[in-house]
Structure formats: C-alpha cells, structure tokens
Structure 1
Amino acid sequence: MKKHILSVVAALAVCAGAQAQTSVDDFKFGFKGGYNLSNLGGDIPGHKALSGFHVGGFAEIPVSAKFAVQPEVLYSAQGSKSKTTIGNVDFKTDVKADFINVPILAKYYALEGLSVEAGPQIGFLVKAKQGSVDVKDAFKSVDFGLAVGASYYFTENIFASARYNFGLTDVAKHSSDGFKMHNNVFQVAVGYRF
C-alpha cells in the first residue's frame, strides 16, 4: 500500500511542477466517463472482450499553446469473457477486474478542437472476481501500461475521446511456464471541461 501512495504522490508532484510553470487561469479540470471494451490478452486461450465502464476526473495543465500535460484518475471496470467446454457443456465465466487508473498524458492540439494524447498509466487493483468467486489474490496489485488516444472538443467545454490502453505488466501473480496476462482496454468517453 505504501508503494501505491508513493506512486500517486509522485504523479501529483509532477503535475504540481507543471502547474508552477503556467498561470492559474490556464489550468483546467473536468470529469469524464464512458464505455470500456477490455480483454486479458496474452497466453489465455478462449478469452473474449468484456464490456465495462470508466469514470473519473482529469486536469489539463498547458505547457505551451499546443502542448499540455493531462493527469487523470479513473475508476475502470475491466476483464474478459471466457468459455470452457467440458464434454458437450459450455461453461461461460466473466473475469472482472476493477482498477483505479492514473494515466499521465502528453497532449498535443493538432488542429482546432482536436488533440492527440499518449503517456504512461499506472493502475491499482481494487477487486477481481471470476463469476462470484473472489480471485484478487491471483492478480498483481499494480499494473503499468501505455495509453494512446485522441479527443475532440465540440465546444470549449464538451468533448468526446477514444483511447487504447496497452498493458505492459504481466498481471497474473503466479505466472508459470511462460504464461502471461495483460490488460488491454479500448475506451470511448464523453466529458466536460471547466
């Protein structure tokens, strides 16, 4: 838990440093939420994408006219669907793993209203279930990834975004024989920036 707190404090320190270089009037914040299509990629046969959601807040800290740093804190429902066949019977079980994700994105305004974003993301496991069984102990508590996406501002305040999160960490706690499992999540969202 101490490592989690230190990671969040480090992220906030980076944001505070960027904030110190810009005026308070330029600093913006907001909230967003939307749809997740996630999968536990890697060496797991028979897993398919699972629908979920994400919701949270963000800050936008301008560095120049075209560049900004955008830290976010998002609650994200992730996982995958699985199907196992024994004899003639199919057993379908969803693996649901909820995370608090903290991406820190470099944001570039390519055109009026259109931005592209990329950066590292750290995720903290909140809970994990396979069906009704708690499987949190089978997952690592921290996940690192890379987020890449774009946003379009319809007005000064209202926007839509799309993003793909590439999991870099093998989130299976007890990997053996080269078995690996990664969080991969496609997200679409709408949001409001104050």
Structure 2
Amino acid sequence: MFTLSSYLSGFGLTAALIVAIGAQNIFVLRQGLRRRHVAAVVAFCALSDLALVSAGVAGVGALLRTVPGLVGGLTLGGAAFLFWYGLGALRRAVAPGALAAEGPDGPESLAGTLARAASFTFLNPHVYLDTVLLMGAVGGALPLAARPCFVAGAGTASLLWFLALGFGARLLGPFFARPAAWRVLDGAVAAIMLALAANLVMRGLGPLKLVL
C-alpha cells in the first residue's frame, strides 16, 4: 500500500543528504561536463543508492554496527582513495598543457568509467553512513508496510539529483570551453578531495585505536 508520508520522508531525507559536495557528486558533474557515458553513470549511482538504502532499511545497518573496526577500516580505505584522486586533480590543475572537455587522459571506456563510479560510490564511507546507517535507521523504524514507500522516495530523490547533476552540467559547457576553467575546477576538486581525505583519516583513526 502506498503511503505518501513515508514516500515524502524518504525523498526529503535523501534530498537533504545527497546535495552535499562530495566525491561522488563531483565525479558525476565532471562526467557531465565531459559528456562521457553520462546516462550510464547516472543510472549506476542512482541504482547504487537505491540498493544501499534498501539494504539499510532491511537491517544491514544494524548488523554493521556490531562488527568491531569495520567503520574505521572503511573510513581509512576511502581516505586513501580520495587522497590518490585529489593528487591526480592537483596534477591536472598545475599541468602546463591545456585541458579539454574530454580530459587529459583522452576518451575512457564505459567499463573504466563505471569502475571509477563504483570506486567513488563504494569506497566512500560517507555513502554507508548516509544510506545504510542513517537512512536504514529511519526507514527501519517505520511499519513494515511503509518501508517500500520510504525506499521509493529515497530512490526518486537520488535519481532526480543525479539526472540534474549529470545532464544539467551541459549548461556550463560554454564556460568550460576555456582551458583555464578546467584548471580552476580541478584545483577546487583537489582541495575538496584532499580535505575530505584528511578528515576521514582523523575520523578513522579513532575507531581503530579502540579496537587495537
């Protein structure tokens, strides 16, 4: 049975969480600007969010809380990945060569693009904290019959956001036709990624110390 309040609850909570600037959003935005496999990336990210929220509502989030050191380990692993990507963005920002919309590395295969999308999705501990743990806790507290509506609302918000981010990025095409704009974007990406990595290291060391 469709429950509007549960649907709106899932939609609103996801919308509030997903708009924060993060690694996954930046990746989708950059793919939109490059116009490379945008539909596939949008579909992958939206379906991944839907699967993670579903898992959280089904009780996986509560199970993860019982595994010592798991959150800390995921956090440090995600920090390492974000640090690596941030250094790559920094290298592009300071490189003397001009950047084009298809990027310094040239065209990328669909498989390679989806592999990177998977990395930004599943190696980012914030994704688990937001979808599996937080969304799972809220949705799991609802009556059993209302949970599918909550998940559907969350999935709708996620899909609409990634569609806007991926395909709406084309509106910025004239601005990013200038090589200098890409250097500014990569500089901002590098700063955000490295800051996120440093923050995750500080958070991840705490839980690991408790386990050790």
The normalised TM-score by structure 1 is 0.23
Q: Which has the higher contact order (CA 8 A, sep 6+)?
A: 2
Q: Counting helix residues as a fraction of each chain, which structure ranks higher?
A: 2
The structure where strand makes up a greater share of residues is 1
TM-score by length of 2: 0.21
